[in-house]
Amino acid sequence: MATRDFAVRTENHVANLGELGKLEFVPEVFGDEFLEGYSQVQEAQKALGEDTDLTKMDPAVLRGVYGAMRQFLAKLMIPESADRFLRFEVIKGGKSVAHFRTRAEADKHAAELTGAVRVEDRSMRLPDRVLMELLEWTTELYGGGDRPTTSSSGSSRASRRAGTPGKGSSRSKGSTSTAGRSAR
């Protein structure tokens, strides 16, 4: 009978954001849940197209992409961190009466209330580059060190060159410079 031990993470992953505090991520996720969430992010990114000039993009499309990224990250966090990271508060009479992780849920709850009610986005504010770094970090954590195998033109890596680089000298005595070799 063969026996094999498998390591299962039991401690949360921690993203230290300096003065903003820490965000904790669950130790392990199921592959299908991770891939489903990541594919939603990729679908949102496809809406951006090939143009990387954010100043020329439709703000609604851009909001959708960032929203998908934030939702994906929040699903990987422990509840306390997710509630800080994504927080839409329903305000009535100047006081917070409820909070939700999506704007749609908060708007639905607010519509059920009477009187002067509003929804405020009190989500954790992070620079775009930090949001992107969190996305890459979690992809490495839960995707096994590489990005998931779903297709994405923006995340493909360069192919390795075929063969191995040679270390021998050429039989040619010419002085033509060649890539990787200096002229003699």
The predicted pLDDT at position 74 comes to 93
> Of 71, 58, 78, 62, which Cα lies nearest the Cα of 104?
71
What distance in Å separates the CA atoms of residue 167 and residue 7, rounded to the nearest whole number?
41
Q: Residue ranges per domain, the chain?
A: 10-86+127-151, 87-122
What distance in Å separates the CA atoms of residue 48 and residue 64, rounded to the nearest whole number?
10
Residue 176 DSSP one-character state: -
What distance in Å separates the CA atoms of residue 123 and residue 71, rounded to the nearest whole number?
11
The amino acid that residue 84 corresponds to is: R
Concatenating the DSSP letter of every residue in 12-73 gives: PEEEE-GGG-EEEE-S---HHHHHHHHHHHHHHHHTT-S---GGGS-HHHHHHHHHHHHHHH
Q: What is the pLDDT along the chain (184 residues), one digit of tens a residue?
A: 899 998 888 899 999 999 999 999 999 887 777 888 888 888 877 766 665 566 677 777 778 888 888 999 999 999 999 999 999 999 999 999 999 999 999 999 999 999 999 999 999 999 989 998 999 899 888 876 544 443 333 333 333 444 444 444 444 444 444 444 444 4
